[in-house]
Amino acid sequence: SVHSLRTRKIGHAISCDVHVQVDPFLSVSEGHIISVSVERVAKECLEDLNDVTVHIDPEDDETVAPYATLPERAEALGMLTKALFNNKCDGEIERIQLHYIDSRIHVDFYLPLSCLKSDQSSDEILSKLHETVDALEGFGKVKVYFGKG
Ligand SMILES: [Zn+2]
């Protein structure tokens, strides 16, 4: 969906900016492709349109308050790392993806498949990660992905 469409006329040129709400779990690169596509289509529709700024939103930011109180990535990772310290799997996490949705930070952990070959069961890893994140203020759901590379 689309909101906050604003246009300005400068001489014969038209400039516009618009917010486009997308699936909040799209990748940054897919969100970028969507913004490029919106810009191209808008320019095809209006020949005097020479400047388009597209904001990609994960949710309707007209109805959801901004997350001024949630920690940004560096601070959030610091909190997670500190909470996971001495946890059996903390050294094996390959990537952490943060999702700022519904006024919370939802966390995706990416772990190597080899984690599951060790004496730890996946249930043990999952419950430890859930327990860790549940104890942190401002954090929400946890997802854990196991894979190669
Ligand atoms: Zn918006």
Tens place of pLDDT for every residue, the chain, 149 residues?
A: 999 999 999 998 999 999 999 999 999 999 999 999 999 999 999 889 999 999 999 998 888 776 778 999 999 999 988 888 766 665 678 899 999 998 899 999 998 888 777 666 788 888 888 998 999 999 999 999 988 86
Is there a domain that residue 101 lies in? yes
Does residue 136 share a domain with residue 110? yes
132 CA to middle of ligand 1, Å?
32
Does residue 49 share a domain with residue 78? no
Is there a domain that residue 20 lies in? yes
Does residue 84 share a domain with residue 52? no
Is there a domain that residue 62 lies in? no
So what's the pLDDT on residue 82? 84
Does residue 29 share a domain with residue 83? no
Does residue 78 share a domain with residue 28? no
Does residue 113 share a domain with residue 83? yes
Is there a domain that residue 68 lies in? no
Residue ranges in the chain assigned as alpha helix (H)? 28-45, 73-84, 122-134
58 CA to middle of ligand 1, Å?
8
Our count of domains for the chain comes to 2
Tokens representing 106 are 């939802």
Is there a domain that residue 123 lies in? yes
2 CA to middle of ligand 1, Å?
8
Is there a domain that residue 66 lies in? no
25 CA to middle of ligand 1, Å?
16
So what's the pLDDT on residue 67? 76
Find the domain containing 111 and state its range.
73-147
Does residue 85 share a domain with residue 50? no
136 CA to middle of ligand 1, Å?
28
So what's the pLDDT on residue 121? 73
60 CA to middle of ligand 1, Å?
6
How big, in percent rounded to 5, are the helix, strand and coil portions of the chain? Answer: 35, 35, 30
So what's the pLDDT on residue 14? 94
Does residue 126 share a domain with residue 82? yes
Is there a domain that residue 67 lies in? no
Does residue 112 share a domain with residue 83? yes
53 CA to middle of ligand 1, Å?
12
Check if the beta carbon of residue 34 is closer than 8 Å to that of residue 20.
yes
Model-level pTM?
A: 0.83
CATH of the domain at 33: 3.30.70.1350
Is there a domain that residue 14 lies in? yes
So what's the pLDDT on residue 76? 94
71 CA to middle of ligand 1, Å?
20
112 CA to middle of ligand 1, Å?
36
113 CA to middle of ligand 1, Å?
38
Sheet holding 13-21, edge to edge: 2-10, 13-21, 49-57
